[in-house]
């Protein structure tokens, strides 16, 4: 009995919880979900390559440019030479898809609170960066069509309407199959989208330092053992995603963080041989841009569509 009392009182720190929940998720939930429903056929390479050829003529504006996820940003990015925008999809309380990066509106808007608790009507009264508005997904799509740009649509939310909203979008406008790639950190969202419509091109976003570097709390982990354990967790999760999960989802596109490529945790040649295309993020320095576009010939997202020289 003593042991149960001890376990019941055991206070897990947030890191331990993150590790355990991720392991449970990847090792049990994801494989079970997939195995009972079957593997998916490979996403069309010719369609993906058609889109990537268009995108490769310039950089991809990360979060659409400045101000993030706004139509003003798309126009500025296009003028600066971007061929595509990467944008973040979220849902309002009343079920409207809008583009916004953070959960809370505080950093970017003249207001405060969680976006998912607000109605579209309220969101439309807010300013982004003083002069722009949060666009709906439909407004954003009209804009990229008009600007003749491509879109990498990152699905950030678990909301069960999102999958249907995304798949309906393509059904109602077949031109979008050749203009939009749906991307996400969450394999189950991509799986659900492809199960409904296998023709939608999707890509899995991955960063292999999820446990060793917390972007919200970037202080270095000093304990050697803890760091080793976390590195191992990072590698196992990434291995599952790049191998097993990629095959079950039938992915032809992976979006690794640039550091994973620069530090050779993602082997560009191997994926090339496998017929898997790579797009990386977020490449801001001129030398890195050179390296990715000229040496590796990989499309990349950037916060700075213009070169550093031209920005000054």
Ligand X SMILES: *[C@@H]1O[C@H](CO)[C@@H](O)[C@H](O)[C@H]1NC(C)=O
Describe the crossing of helices 14-23 and 224-240 by its angle, rounded to 10 degrees.
30
Q: Applying CB under 6 A, does 217 fall inside the site for ligand X?
A: no
Q: How does 235-252 read in b/e, with b if 16+ C-beta sit within 10 Å? A: eebbebbbeebbebbbbb
Q: Applying CB under 6 A, does 24 fall inside the site for ligand X?
A: no
Residues 135, 108 contacting (CB under 8 angstroms) = no
Q: Applying CB under 6 A, does 81 fall inside the site for ligand X?
A: no
Which phi and psi (to 5°) does residue 166 adopt? Answer: -65, -45
Q: Applying CB under 6 A, does 129 fall inside the site for ligand X?
A: no
Beta-carbon contacts of residue 122 (< 8 Å; ≥ 6 apart): none
State the nearest-atom distance from the C-beta of 228 to ligand X, in Å: 40
Q: Applying CB under 6 A, does 114 fall inside the site for ligand X?
A: no
State the nearest-atom distance from the C-beta of 37 to ligand X, in Å: 16
Q: Please choose, out of 119-127, 235-243, 265-273, 295-303, the segment that lies near ligand X by the rule CB under 6 A.
A: 119-127
Residues in 143-162 that interact with ligand X by CB under 6 A: 160
Q: On the CB side of 308, how many CA atoms lie within 13 Å of its CA?
A: 8
- Of 131 and 269, the one with the shorter C-beta distance to ligand X is 131
State the nearest-atom distance from the C-beta of 116 to ligand X, in Å: 12
Q: Applying CB under 6 A, does 126 fall inside the site for ligand X?
A: yes
Q: Applying CB under 6 A, does 125 fall inside the site for ligand X?
A: yes
Instruction: Report the DSSP beta bridge partners of residue 61.
Output: 85, 302
Q: Applying CB under 6 A, does 111 fall inside the site for ligand X?
A: yes
Distance of CA 165 to the CA centre of its chain: 17
Among 110, 119, 308, 311, binds ligand X (CB under 6 A): 110
Q: Rule CB under 6 A: which residues touch ligand X?
A: 110-111, 125-127, 160
């Amino acid at each position: 009995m003593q042991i149960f009392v001890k376990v019941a009182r055991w206070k897990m720190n947030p890191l331990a919880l993150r590790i355990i929940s991720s392991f449970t998720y990847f090792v049990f939930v994801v494989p079970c979900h997939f195995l009972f429903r079957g593997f998916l056929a490979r996403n069309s390479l010719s369609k993906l390559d058609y889109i990537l050829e268009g995108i490769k003529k310039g950089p991809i504006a990360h979060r659409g440019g400045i101000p993030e996820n706004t139509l003003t940003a798309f126009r500025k990015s296009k003028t600066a030479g971007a061929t595509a925008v990467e944008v973040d999809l979220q849902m309002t309380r009343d079920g409207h898809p809008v583009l916004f990066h953070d959960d809370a509106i505080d950093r970017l808007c003249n207001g405060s609170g969680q976006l998912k608790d607000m109605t579209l009507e309220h969101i439309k009264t807010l300013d982004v960066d003083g002069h722009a508005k949060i666009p709906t997904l439909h407004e954003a799509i009209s804009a990229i069509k008009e600007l003749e740009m491509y879109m990498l649509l990152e699905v950030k939310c678990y909301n069960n309407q999102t999958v249907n909203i995304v798949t309906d979008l393509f059904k109602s406008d077949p031109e979008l199959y050749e203009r939009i790639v749906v991307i996400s950190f969450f394999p189950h969202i991509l799986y659900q989208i492809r199960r409904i419509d296998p023709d939608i091109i999707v890509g899995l976003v991955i960063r292999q330092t999820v446990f060793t570097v917390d972007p919200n709390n970037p202080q270095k982990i000093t304990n050697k053992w803890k760091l080793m354990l976390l590195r191992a967790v990072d590698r196992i999760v990434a291995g599952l995603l790049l191998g097993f999960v990629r095959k079950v989802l039938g992915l032809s596109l992976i979006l690794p963080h640039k550091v994973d490529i620069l530090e050779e945790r993602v082997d560009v040649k191997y994926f090339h041989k496998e017929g898997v295309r790579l797009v990386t993020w977020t490449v801001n320095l001129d030398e890195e841009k050179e390296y990715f576009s000229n040496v590796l010939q990989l499309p990349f997202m950037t916060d700075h569509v213009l070169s550093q020289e031209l920005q000054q």
